Amino acid sequence: MDTSFNLWILLMPFVGALVGLTYMGIGRRIIARVQHRYGPPIFQNIVDVLKLYSKKTAITHGVMFHLAPTLAITGTISTLMFLPILTGPHGIYLFSFKGDLILLMYIMVFGCLAMALGAGQSGNPNSAIGVSRGLSQMVGYEAPFVIAMVTLMVQFNTTSVHDIIKAQDSFVHWNMFQSPFAFIAALFAFLGFMGNKPFDVVIAPAEIASGPPSEFGGKYLALMQTNRGMFAFVKLVLYVDLFMGGAANFVSLLAKTFFFYLIPLFVGIVNPRFRTEQAITFFWKWPTVIGLLGFLMVIL
């Protein structure tokens, strides 16, 4: 138990990054199929990251710029550490017994804030606009997300992720089916979380170059891409834990996370991008109303 515990603590960030990056590769491939083409190899994103790690030069704009990717990845790994990856007898719990859902909700922001600060120091107005848009949109999708989370916490009268997982002991008890409104609200929020179209106002290439990361290159971008893969994994696992009752083994974990990965992907393929205020008001309309319906279901 002890050695495997330590081993998983060391391994999990790498597993997360690899899984996240591979999903992105598969995602690119699926997008390519919809677009009538072959698409890149599945491991293209991993190759990209390797390439970025092998870049010989990198420029920095200052301390915060230098630290930002490090801090971001710190935030993501820390989040991962407080997340139950697998449950059951062969579970991988890491430090998840030492935190709860509120901690997860807040520590997830750590990395984003660090990225925002680094982007800020890059001095590029496009980065600043990207951050401004991202934070604004965050307030948008946080509304349905928070409603869904609070619904879950009140429904099970706990803030511990473990208890929420335990309550979904069988297929029919999954929160997906048990509290469908909260699930739908959270799903909308998830679209915003993942930053896929139509909610990719942050990087919006045709508008603000590539937004916050536009000054990052070489090793910094490598760390950021790793972080991106890992963060996607973290978000997926969190949703699986909350709405699909966690996973008992890696196969089911991969299947469930991939299901969640596909949803924003397919929405993104066929939709253009919202303008920022449209995205915010979108989140404040139907997803919030659906979330509040979920509330009523729990309260009544």
Scanning residues 229 to 248, which ones bind another protein (CB under 8 A)? none
42, 74, 248, 263: which one contacts another protein (CB under 8 A)? Answer: 74
Which residue stretch of 128-136, 167-175, 179-187, 232-240 sits at the interface with another protein (rule: CB under 8 A)?
128-136
| Residue 214 vs 257, nearer CB to another protein | 214
4, 7, 11, 59: which one contacts another protein (CB under 8 A)? Answer: 59
121, 168, 178, 179: which one contacts another protein (CB under 8 A)? Answer: 121
8, 15, 30, 70: which one contacts another protein (CB under 8 A)? Answer: 70
Q: Least separation, in Å, of the C-beta of 248 and another protein?
A: 23
- Residue 38: how many other CB atoms lie within 10 Å: 9
Name residues contacting another protein, limited to 135-174 (CB under 8 A).
Answer: 135-136, 138-140, 142-143, 146-147, 149-151, 153-154, 157-160, 163
SS3 140: helix
Nearest to 235 by CA among 71, 143, 115, 104: 104
| Residue 148 vs 256, nearer CB to another protein | 148
| Residue 47 vs 255, nearer CB to another protein | 47
Burial class, 233, CB count within 10 angstroms (exposed 0-12 / middle 13-18 / buried 19+):
buried
Whether residue 192 contacts residue 141, with contact meaning beta carbons closer than 8 Å, is answered with yes
4, 6, 249, 271: which one contacts another protein (CB under 8 A)? Answer: 271
Nearest to 179 by CA among 292, 58, 16: 292
221, 236, 240, 242: which one contacts another protein (CB under 8 A)? Answer: 221
Q: Give yes or no for residue 99 binding another protein (CB under 8 A).
A: yes
**Extended strands (E) in 61-101:** none
Whether residue 267 contacts residue 196, with contact meaning beta carbons closer than 8 Å, is answered with yes
Which residue stretch of 73-81, 174-182, 231-239, 254-262 sits at the interface with another protein (rule: CB under 8 A)?
73-81
Whether residue 115 contacts residue 68, with contact meaning beta carbons closer than 8 Å, is answered with yes
Burial class, 231, CB count within 10 angstroms (exposed 0-12 / middle 13-18 / buried 19+):
buried
Nearest to 124 by CA among 55, 61, 178, 167: 61
Name residues contacting another protein, limited to 187-216 (CB under 8 A).
Answer: 197-198, 200-201, 204-210, 213-216
Please tell me the count of residues contacting another protein according to CB under 8 A: 122
Residue 172: which residues within 8 A CB-CB, separation 6 or more?
178
Q: How far apart are CA 261 and CA 16, in angstroms?
A: 14
24, 116, 176, 265: which one contacts another protein (CB under 8 A)? Answer: 116
Q: Give yes or no for residue 66 binding another protein (CB under 8 A).
A: yes
Kindly report the CA angle at 181 between 177 and 184, in degrees rounded to 5?
A: 90
Q: How far apart are CA 142 and CA 66, in angstroms?
A: 29
Q: Least separation, in Å, of the C-beta of 288 and another protein?
A: 10
Which residue stretch of 49-57, 181-189, 232-240, 248-256 sits at the interface with another protein (rule: CB under 8 A)?
49-57
Dihedral pair phi/psi, residue 86, rounded to 5°: -120, 145
| Residue 158 vs 252, nearer CB to another protein | 158
| Residue 4 vs 278, nearer CB to another protein | 278
